[in-house]
Chain A
Amino acid sequence: MTDDQHRFTGVYDECRQRVWAYVVSRSGRQVADEVVSETFAIAWRRLEDVPDPALPWLLGVARNVLRDTIRAEARREALAQELRAWTEGDVADQVTERIGVLQALAALGDDDREILVLVAWQGLSPKEAARVVGCSTAAFRVRLHRARKRLKQAMEPAGPSRPRVRNNLSEEWS
């Protein structure tokens, strides 16, 4: 066991489940293990580039791996299944109020959902999240503001017709 191996194991144990959760929220469970596995292989190869905290860097790598290795079609199918799982309550501890929020999140576009997940579930600061999605912090704040607004609208039960899950490629990878 070398020092590098120690450090790598530490990074893995600290971040693995967070990276997995991010990938699941982008592409579902079927492909998540494969993407996570490749992400950490890259982290090992480039260990000296891994900053502390490592999570935003790892999420950025996972995002690229997802884009480069998983076909858009496969990703869409797996994601649709994952989003159904969130809202149909196949997850044991689901509480009714939570389902409404998750339904609203599932109904948003991929970009909005990614931004909200990075901030609310991964606990990233706007600066860190901006680095993950590859835009400026200022641009990210604007996008976050809009995503929050659309989430709020989607959560209002009597609101206008909800946006449907979008599969717009150009929007997904922007």
Chain B
Amino acid sequence: MNPMDELRAARPAHLGDAPVDEGTRARELTYAMSHPRKARRGRKVVWPVWGISLAGATAAVAAAAVVVTGTGGAPPSAPDSVAQPAATATATATKVRLSAREVLLAAAEKAGSQPDEMGAWWHTSTMQRTLHQVAEGGYTVVERQRSEGWTSSATGGEQGGTYQSLGARPATPEDEAAWRRAGSPREFEVKVPGKPRAITLSTSPRKPWGGFSPLVDGDKVFWLGRNVTMKELRALPSDPGRLKAWLLRSYKGHDTESESVPMASDPWLYRVSTGLILDMPVTPEVRAAAFRMLADLDSVKVIENVTDAEGRQGAAVAVEEKVRDSVMETRLIFDQETGRGLASESVVVEPGDAHAGHEPGTVVGTTTVLEAGWADSRP
């Protein structure tokens, strides 16, 4: 053996790749993110959480994958208010293409008449679920991650929140049977597309962590084709045509996630405006305008009788996208009674290599909005 091979083999165990302990991880992440970000120009800064799973093609898997790296999970038996795993949540969807426009216009009416009283903090509470195929044992697990986001409405304020992985569990009863046959492991390796190394998920929850940092440039709160201030967000046009024109001023012909990936204006508008409906602090009139704007896009369709991963009934407005070698559908699920956004989902339509083990119709990633509203103070 040459000296380098001997040296490689002699690495002391404590310098190996054992996972960092939870307390250290939570402390270091919190410490790092308590520092202000360096200001930058031209790039997106503040994606609300839906952006991750929404960016579906590039992100539902790719970005969610980043999230999942090294995160653990809750025991399969842990109590959970959600009865159904992501994989089975939308089995009853029926497509009603003709009424798409009417469904969206009706939602606009409901959304426009919701109450709105601004507070000191915009608060969102979301649950993200991501499917992973376990390398050994041939079963699929779903990992759940909970986040709380807080954004100050004041110039010079802060933005931040907490974040926790609740652990991974077998996705369906069949997966659970396969997991038991594999010896009911509490940890399993999953392969994430685009990552060289397999990552280890656990059935146990991880410690929550989080932190607050000053708003980007002192006043930018969210990304909407470009970074916007709370004031700009609250003053968006409530006319659908003018809203569309306002948003399209930031459209440069490419994907929201990558300047080298071309993107048509309809899917771009859909992706950017999802936040207006789902979890951004816009006025009810602007949320209504977003529904009306979507109603006029040819490439979106409406799916009625959809159930989100929390078991809530609604309708979905959806677009199809080619993501690498897969065709994926992104769905924005909303409550037809109130026009409120409930969830965004990424669904396999034609599985390519990255989704080889997923049947068409499988929801591979979903973010549900549990709460989005104003508060007077943050914890």
Contacts and interface: CB of A to CB of B under 8 A. Distances in A.
Contact of B28 (A36, A105, A152): A36
A7 B38 CA distance: 16
Interface stretch (B46-54, B245-253, B335-343, B352-360): B46-54
B163 A5 contact: yes
B24 interface: yes
B11 A121 contact: yes
Contacts of B38: 45-46, 48
B83 interface: no
28 contacts: A1-B163, A2-B47, A3-B44, A3-B63, A7-B63, A10-B66, A10-B67, A10-B69, A12-B28, A12-B32, A13-B25, A17-B17, A17-B20, A24-B14, A24-B15, A40-B32, A44-B35, A48-B40, A91-B12, A98-B10, A101-B3, A105-B10, A116-B4, A116-B7, A120-B11, A121-B8, A121-B15, A155-B3
Contact of A45 (B17, B19, B35): B35
Contacts of B6: 97, 101, 155
A1 B161 contact: yes
Nearest to B33: A44
B70 A120 contact: no
Interface in A27-43: 33, 36-37, 40-41, 43
B51 A3 contact: yes
Interface in B133-159: 147, 149, 159
A2 B46 contact: yes
Contacts of A47: 37
A93 interface: yes
A15 to B, nearest CB: 10
Q: Interface majority SS on A: helix, strand, loop or mixed?
A: helix
Q: Which 5 A-B pairs have the closest CB atoms?
A: A13-B70, A3-B47, A10-B66, A1-B147, A98-B10
Nearest to A36: B28
B148 to A, nearest CB: 8
Which of A6, A8, A46, A105: most chain B CB closer than 10 A?
A6
Nearest to A144: B4
Interface of B: 3-4, 6-20, 24-25, 27-29, 31-33, 35-38, 40, 43-49, 51-52, 63, 65-67, 69-71, 126, 147, 149, 159, 161, 163, 197, 199
B271 to A, nearest CB: 13
Contacts of B126: 1
A1 B149 contact: yes
Which of B8, B9, B32, B65: most chain A CB closer than 10 A?
B32
A76 interface: no
A24 to B, nearest CB: 6
B3 A151 contact: yes
A45 B35 CA distance: 7
Given A1-B163, A5-B33, A101-B6, A14 B47 contact: no
B167 to A, nearest CB: 15
Contact of A37 (B4, B8, B28, B48): B28
B7 A4 contact: no
A120 B4 contact: yes
A130 B361 CA distance: 48
Contacts of B33: 5, 8, 44
A34 to B, nearest CB: 10
Contact of A6 (B8, B14, B15, B52): B52
A91 B6 CA distance: 18
A131 interface: no
A50 B199 CA distance: 21
Contact of A20 (B20, B35, B36): B20
Contacts of B31: 37, 40-41
Contacts of B32: 8, 12, 37, 40-41, 43-44
A51 to B, nearest CB: 15
Contacts of A7: 63, 66
Contacts of A6: 52, 63, 66-67
Contacts of B65: 10
Contact of B7 (A9, A36, A151): A151
A65 interface: no
A101 B147 contact: no
A86 interface: yes
Contacts of B14: 24, 91
B4 A9 contact: no
A148 B4 contact: yes
A47 B27 CA distance: 19
A119 interface: yes
Interface in A123-174: 148, 151-152, 155
Nearest to A101: B10
